[in-house]
Structure 1
Amino acid sequence: MALEYMHVSAFTRIPGGGNSAGVICLPEWPTDEVLSGLARSIDLPVTAVIVETERGVELRWLSRAGSFVKSMCGHGTLAASLAMSLSKPDLRKFIFLTPGGPVEVERTEDDLFRLSLPRWDSTRCAHRWPELEEALGWVPTELLDAGRDVLAVFASEVDVRALHPDMVKLRQLGHRGFIATAPGNSFDCVSRFFCPTFGLGVDEDLATGSAHCAIAPFWAQRLGKSTLHALQASEAEAELVCEVGDTSVTVSAPAVLQSYERVSLQENAKR
């Protein structure tokens, strides 16, 4: 059985820019083994799978390695939002039921997608982490625990851009994401996201909506403002507008269709 799926560029209006994700819409959920095989075959950092059920529109994400993402995936959700808008052009608001909780989505008049993601507050680490400092190659001014991710705060945007982490050493620190962030020169904040153990097939994620679940609340409190213009200073240079609420972080960003592809469900079911 050949399936059509969308190859989407998230956090950009330029096909081939931003962060890539595959999106598949299915009539019902296949087995986890089939889904894992599809994700490995599609071979993009994230594959988003949408199934409309009696409960609502269910969304799951898988990494390039075929493992399930259970916390939150901003760029996979953004890609799925574009797929929904293309299949249902009159639909302006909808809710995805995800493993990380419901995500409300609104498509704006200028074709941005506003994703209501969960808010992740950070707590300051009581002690230094020399192994992380060695892996990053630079000593942060602050170190915070944001749950899934570790937040390393640096003095300037220049420091964040200059980082060349030792990914082998980062892998040895456990299955966590490592956020490097600082005040921005032209933005409220800048960041980079290192995730060598996440199975995305890349050591540094180019555009990470979920990382801003932690980044935005930290800088909102530090800067005394609830709306932030953030830059993920990766090779892709992703820009995000983040609105911080009591329990949520609303991320606004564009996405664009790069191409339609075809993948064999039967072939991957055998893997």
Structure 2
Amino acid sequence: MIPIYTVDAFTSSPFSGNPAAVCVVQEFPPDDKWLRKVAAEMNLSETAFLCPMDQVGNYRLRWFTPAGEVDLCGHATLASAQVLWESGVAYRIEQLRFHTRSGLLTAKRVDGGIELNFPAEPVSPCEAPPQLAEAIGFEPRAVYKNRMDYLIELPSEQAVREFRPDFRALKELPGRGLIVTSPADDPEVDFVSRCFFPALGIDEDPVTGSAHCALAPYWKEKLGKTQFKARQLSSRTGELKLRLSGERVLIQGQAVIIVKGLLLH
């Protein structure tokens, strides 16, 4: 029997933020079929698979959506750290080291939550692919892209809240998906965003840590700041604290374990 958890990430309140499954295995299977089946069965935006390594506090970490494996995921990494600390597996370890497809990621306990150390994924201006205007219903004034996502800025928080893309057209967009963002109305928040990944089987992701690896450098250029409070405006809503440090983004948030169980097969 294999331990598995459901964790709400980037929130301090149950049933909000972004839910992730966390599955703790002693070794990865020789092929990915079982991992894909578990992720499809959990049917959450991400299922994280954690496997301990020989060195204490080091884990191999992989992330799967219901449609397949992804290169980077913030909320499932936060959820994984919460599971390791709250379950007592890593009780005395102050910093966890995750070995992933995006290199070494770390998590440490800080006042008010957990701080993740992720690579910055800055966007650059690009030509709008022909599918984009069809997907969003207008010609964007400027389009940006990194190795994963497209990003567009909308004129207001209200425009972000009311944004309704054509998911069928958006699914044909090259890459992982689309981030939309704007300045926040709340003076305590720097910017807001929403994230859409229908190609991964996720029409809208509730709270996306990896997207903020692009958003933090983007808003640094706009606002001249290196520290931010961000809010993702999905129906579940999520809050993140961000700090740029060289080519890294430090992402701080909280997480709540909702379900503890065992996989029987």
TM superposition score normalised by structure 1: 0.90
Question: Which residue of 1 is the match for residue 108 of structure 2?
Answer: 106
Q: For residues 167-186 of structure 1, what are the structure 2 equivalents within 5 Å?
A: 167-186=167-186
Question: Which residue of 2 is the match for residue 5 of structure 1?
Answer: 4
Partners of 2:66 and 2:200 within 8 A in 1 = no
Aligned-pair distance for 1:222?
1.1
Q: Does 1:115 align with 2:116?
A: yes
Query: How many percent identity over aligned positions?
Result: 34
**Partner Cα distance (1:183, 1:141) in 2:** 16
| 2:25 counterpart letter in structure 1 | L
Q: Secondary structure at the match of 1:84?
A: helix
* Structure 1 residues 179-200: Cα deviation after superposition (integer angstroms, max 9, x where no partner): 001111122111100100013x
Aligned-pair distance for 1:10?
0.7
Q: Structure 1 residues 75-84 or 133-142, which shifts more? A: 133-142
Aligned-pair distance for 1:121?
1.4
Q: For residues 1-271 of structure 1, what are the structure 2 equivalents within 5 Å?
A: 2-31=1-30, 32-54=32-54, 56-65=58-67, 67-69=68-70, 71-86=71-86, 87=88, 88-110=90-112, 112-125=113-126, 127-129=127-129, 131-186=131-186, 187-199=189-201, 202-265=202-265
Question: Which residue of 2 is the match for residue 268 of structure 1?
Answer: none
Q: Secondary structure at the match of 2:143?
A: strand
Q: Structure 1 residues 203-212 or 185-194, which shifts more? A: 185-194
Partners of 1:38 and 1:263 within 8 A in 2 = no
Partners of 1:7 and 1:259 within 8 A in 2 = yes
Partners of 1:231 and 1:239 within 8 A in 2 = yes
Aligned-pair distance for 1:130?
5.2
Aligned-pair distance for 1:128?
4.4
Cα 1:140–1:160 change in 2 (3 A) is farther
| 1:136 counterpart letter in structure 2 | I
- What residue ranges of structure 1 are gaps of 5+ in the alignment? 266-271
Partners of 1:141 and 1:155 within 8 A in 2 = no
**Partner Cα distance (1:140, 1:18) in 2:** 29
**Partner Cα distance (2:101, 2:130) in 1:** 34
**Partner Cα distance (1:124, 1:108) in 2:** 35
Aligned-pair distance for 1:20?
0.9
Partners of 2:6 and 2:257 within 8 A in 1 = yes
| 1:25 counterpart letter in structure 2 | V
* Structure 1 residues 156-214: Cα deviation after superposition (integer angstroms, max 9, x where no partner): 11111110100011112234210001111122111100100013xx3000000000010
Partners of 2:16 and 2:238 within 8 A in 1 = no
Partners of 2:5 and 2:22 within 8 A in 1 = yes
Cα 1:182–1:138 change in 2 (3 A) is farther
Cα 1:53–1:137 change in 2 (3 A) is same
| 1:134 counterpart letter in structure 2 | E
**Partner Cα distance (2:141, 2:183) in 1:** 12
Partners of 1:175 and 1:198 within 8 A in 2 = no
Partners of 1:194 and 1:203 within 8 A in 2 = yes
TM superposition score normalised by structure 2: 0.92
RMSD (Å), alpha carbons: 1.6
- What residue ranges of structure 2 are gaps of 5+ in the alignment? none
**Partner Cα distance (2:253, 2:153) in 1:** 24
